[in-house]
Chains A and B, each alone.
Chain A
Amino acid sequence: MRHLLQGRRIPLAWLLLTRQPIRLLVALAGISFAGILMFMQLGFREGLFDASVTVHRMFDTDLVLISPRSMSSISMSGFPRRRLVQTMAHPAVSGTTPVNWNFLLWRNPQTLVTRSILALGFEPTDSILNDPQLSYKTESLTKPGRVLFDKLSRKEFGPISEWYEQGKIVETEVAGKRVRVSGLVSLGPSFGADGNLLTSRETFLKLLPSTPTGSIEIGLIRLKSGYNKQSVADAISSSLPKDVRVLTREEFIDFEKNYWRTSTSIGFIFTLGAVMGFVVGCVIVYQILYSDVSDHLPEYATLMAMGYRLKTLLGVVAREGVLLAVMGYLPAYMAAQGLYALVRSSTRLPVAMDLDRSLLVFSLILLMCMGSALLAMRRLVDADPAEIF
């Protein structure tokens, strides 16, 4: 306790910073700017990867069958539906859903402009998405030429949900054939697809007659409880020919994210953006701390002449670095929250603050401030107490 009381000192670092409020504000603006830049770039990066699996996450499934030739959601290959039926032989399997997955041209009923939309075809009686409301809507798909439209799709597809909710009959062309919207669902656009629609396999095959009969792009496999997904996946995989791949739900999600991460330069571009933010921040903080130390050099020298240790004074500069980091981070964090909300509402990208990223950005800002403080300390070592007389 005694030691604690003794330890309290004049908060020199704080006073050095705050007695020059303009310079402090400039420094904080710079650090916050760098922080916001890093938050946005890293947020976009994660958001885009996350956005690539909006639909993947919603499937009501434990395991997924795909063709080994499928590279990503934008280039799915077909495989024989028979393989999915074969998996029923495994005692752990409780149900399966064959799904057709392809991109079709949707005509905006208002502007008549066409745009590519992701269409999922399935048996209306099968379970497909983790959405308890869906089973009421899928009944309507048993009639031919009916689709469920994703109301979170981008606006370019037309005012479908508005018209539908106003009670209008919404009809348009998909792949050149007339369809009627018989309900709305909420999925959300993904990186590869600006919008989604659900329909029966029967309608799907009519819209896309080139699909080989008995061929599907995705097979959903639900397991009874109490089974280890990975070991069932391995067992099914070894019992089936090599013309299908068995993935767990998580592997299916990673498979898609990995494509965007490794086969495109998106990850690199946004990482580069974050690095730029970091570098800009470093330059600003270094400038501020360096000129702060230079300005106060005679005062530091005076303290040394009084008997203060160099270590103590280096500590003052280090504390200035920490203070700048904390004070610069908080506004960056709050601004990023606001900007994320803005991005979500205007692009529907699932960009959100998460703990990992907020810690990462804080660490980067701290690193930036402490690194600059360390460089500025070199100037302090030049302080010669003999020169101040």
Chain B
Amino acid sequence: MNLLANSSVPTFISAEKPAVEIVGLSHWFGKGIMRREVLQSISLEINSGEVVLLTGPSGCGKTTLLTLIGALRKVEAGDLRVFGCDLRGSSRKTRQLLRKNIGMIFQGHNLLRCLTAEQNVQMGADLIDGLSYRVRRDQAREWLRLVGLSDQMDKLPHDLSGGQKQRVAIARALAARPKILLADEPTAALDSVTGREIVDLLRRLAKDQSCSVLMVTHDPRILDIADRVLKMEDGKMVQPLE
């Protein structure tokens, strides 16, 4: 089954441009004397289909950068374009539409507790307009098969292991056919073997869909899956050591 068929791309999204272009992006938290610059003039580009890892010590601003790219926060200073769409001064509606094209995988799996694995994945597939319920359900099942959970479809998150939950989360993110996947330490709650399996799976499926990936990780053992590794320190990009 071609899961990319009939995909609907909002007209403001351009396919030729890089997936993400950032120039001089800064971000502050707090007010008054508590105000702190968390991101300082960040510049980077992610091309479509590229798998990029982002590392750096805790508290250096990686998550903040991810939420900005994910259109979850307002841009305060600098330029941030996702699929050519300028996020500075963007409306709520634009950000919501853009988010439909951005897959997110969290450190905690953040699955809906009251839904089965299949239903959770279908919540992702349901975001695609113009498909019947049956097609969306079949796609959800297909994604679960691709992440190796064909026999766990009717289980609630409660009854799944950590690795299985993260697989469901990947299936859910990909089921919405995103152009870019943002993953924040997706392996943090997993043991190293399972963690390795998960990132390998993530990389393979993303490459199959020519979906870009920006993954935050602390784990030096998985750096080899990346096309490129970015390093941050204290809110600034630093050149990674070769």
Contact = CB atoms under 8 A, between A and B. Distances in A.
A386 B112 contact: no
B72 A386 contact: yes
A163 interface: no
A307 B99 contact: yes
Contacts, number: 81
A328 B199 CA distance: 47
A19 B115 CA distance: 9
B73 interface: yes
Contacts of B104: 305-306
Interface stretch (B18-26, B122-130, B233-241): B122-130
A16 interface: yes
Contacts of A385: 72
B133 A307 contact: no
B18 to A, nearest CB: 21
Interface string A272-310: 000000000000000000000000101100111111110
B106 A388 contact: yes
Contact of A305 (B99, B107, B113, B133): B99
Interface string B144-181: 00000000000010000000000000001100100000
Interface string A365-383: 0000000000000000000
Contacts of A12: 112, 114-115, 123
Contacts of A386: 67, 72-73
B176 A15 contact: no
Nearest to A309: B96
B99 A10 contact: no
B107 to A, nearest CB: 7
Interface residues of A, number: 26
A5 B130 CA distance: 9
Contacts of A9: 126, 133
Nearest to A302: B110
Contacts of B96: 304, 307, 309
B123 A6 contact: no
A8 interface: yes
B102 interface: yes
A8 B133 contact: yes
A389 interface: yes
A2 interface: yes
Contacts of A389: 63, 66-67, 72, 106-107, 184
Interface in A8-30: 8-10, 12, 15-16, 19-20
Contacts of B131: 6
B113 A299 contact: yes
Interface in B117-145: 119, 122-124, 126-127, 129-134
Interface residues of B, number: 38
Contacts of A2: 132
Interface string A176-205: 000000000000000000000000000000
Contacts of B72: 305, 385-386, 389
B123 A10 contact: yes
Contacts of B99: 304-307
A137 to B, nearest CB: 68
Contact of A307 (B73, B127, B132): B127
A10 B66 contact: no
A307 B113 contact: no
A381 to B, nearest CB: 12
A6 B122 CA distance: 13
Contact of A19 (B63, B70, B73, B113): B113
A186 B87 CA distance: 82
Interface in A195-241: none
Contacts of B102: 307
A307 B106 contact: no
B189 interface: no
**Residue of A9, A16, A308, A385 ringed by the most chain B CB atoms within 10 A:** A385
Contacts of B176: 306-307
Interface of B: 63, 66-67, 70, 72-73, 96-102, 104, 106-107, 110, 112-115, 119, 122-124, 126-127, 129-134, 156, 172-173, 176, 184
Interface of A: 2, 5-6, 8-10, 12, 15-16, 19-20, 296, 298-299, 302-309, 385-386, 388-389
26 contacts: A5-B132, A5-B134, A6-B131, A6-B132, A9-B133, A10-B122, A10-B126, A12-B123, A19-B156, A296-B113, A296-B114, A299-B110, A303-B112, A304-B96, A304-B99, A305-B70, A305-B104, A306-B100, A306-B104, A306-B127, A306-B172, A307-B127, A307-B176, A386-B72, A388-B110, A389-B184
Given A12-B114, A386-B67, 4 more contacts: A302-B110, A303-B123, A307-B96, A307-B99
